[in-house]
Amino acid sequence: MTRFAFTVEARDGKARKGRITMQRGEIRTPAFMPVGTAATVKAMKPESVRATGADIILGNTYHLMLRPGAERVARLGGLHRFMNWDRPILTDSGGYQVMSLSALRKISEDGVAFSSHLDGSKHMLTPERSMEIQRLLGSDIVMAFDECPRADEPRDTIARSMEMSMRWARRSREGFDSGGDHAARAALFGIQQGALDEELRRQSAEALTAIGFDGYAIGGLAVGEGQEAMFATLDFAPDQLPQDRPRYLMGVGKPDDLVGAVERGVDMFDCVLPTRSGRNGQAFTWNGPINLRNAKFAEDQAPLDERCTCPTCASYSRAYIHHLIRSGEILGAMLMTEHNLSFYQQLMQAMRDAIAEGRFAAFAADFQRDYSAS
């Protein structure tokens, strides 16, 4: 069985339809990965996540290392067995959460010393430790350890951070390669940094390519810079990365973000938005997002989305879901999450079909028109 292979099956402009083949299954691209932060996609059973069309999910190194602990997960048979998901899992490196969740942290060339947001306990996360944790979890796609600075930091600060992340990328490569059986069946992705700066992004891409990775992520976006600036960066960033490898835009995003990013050559995505928004009463539809808390839905007998084929839309009305959400019923979060994840997967399938049929530009234009009509 192939350890890792990426095949581009069709191109339409910069948009690409492809397939990643791994030991635990195939991943159709463009792919959206639901986020299973703490070994669970919130409000969903793993078999229900799979039923939405998801080929791969994401687990979070930072959260799992703190609770229940990577060593414990390993003793219990690894993350796949622990959470009953037998298909590929991508684990992030933990770097972003260290930066965003840890009030007390100290960054050095060695790594990041930080205090747990759970209990204040002290930890040190280095490229080598990140690789070890992801190996203990048994992930299929491992992410290199990096630092993700804010896009509005001074250019020299961003440059120094990017250069350190590239040194960490080489240490991540060496740490991953020392992983024996895990390294023989898993894949390692490098992460391009450089914020919104084209030259820094180019330098980062060249450094990563020289090291060599199975895939390449575009990091440092979707951190508050706005869609216009993100798209302007995506106009050049994917093109700087190897053509024969998948490109993964981390932490993105809204449905219209996904369409615009695929249009610019991105192959993989993850985001908490469909699950988090669902729990908070927001449903994504082909005609834009709707807030089911609004009183106007109290007697609306239509499904969340007439075009959606998910079980929620087949069986439940907006009025009923409005009632569940306003009543704080758990079922409301479950139904909304099922719909949102299904909608995202239906969107990815629609994009794959449009690319294969050479009509992606028309699809994107129609989508943007309908999605922004609400």
Q: What are the DSSP calls for 320-334, one per residue?
A: HHHHHHHHT-HHHHH
370 is catalytic: no
Buried b or exposed e, range 224-260, using 16+ CB within 10 angstroms? ebeeeebeebbeebbebbeeebbbbbbbbbbbebbbb
270 is catalytic: yes
What is the C-alpha to C-alpha distance for residues 169 and 130, in angstroms, rounded to an integer? 11
Angle at 246 between CA 249 and CA 40, to 5 degrees: 55
What is the C-alpha to C-alpha distance for residues 365 and 374, in angstroms, rounded to an integer? 16
State how far Cα 14 lies from the chain centre. Answer: 20
Give the gyration radius of the chain's Cα atoms. 20
Residue tagged active-site, from 140, 197, 270, 305: 270
Residue tagged active-site, from 12, 92, 197, 305: 92
CA distances from 370 to 118, 233, 291, 365 (A): 43, 25, 17, 9
> Do residues 98 and 114 make contact, with C-beta atoms less than 8 angstroms apart?
yes
What is the C-alpha to C-alpha distance for residues 41 and 58, in angstroms, rounded to an integer? 9
What is the C-alpha to C-alpha distance for residues 247 and 30, in angstroms, rounded to an integer? 10
Buried b or exposed e, range 356-368, using 16+ CB within 10 angstroms? eeeebeebbeebe
Residues in contact with 136: Cβ distance below 8 Å, sequence separation at least 6, in sequence order:
70, 71, 73, 74, 78
Place of tokens 């879901």: 321
Angle at 204 between CA 201 and CA 207, to 5 degrees: 150
Q: Which residues are catalytic?
A: 92, 270
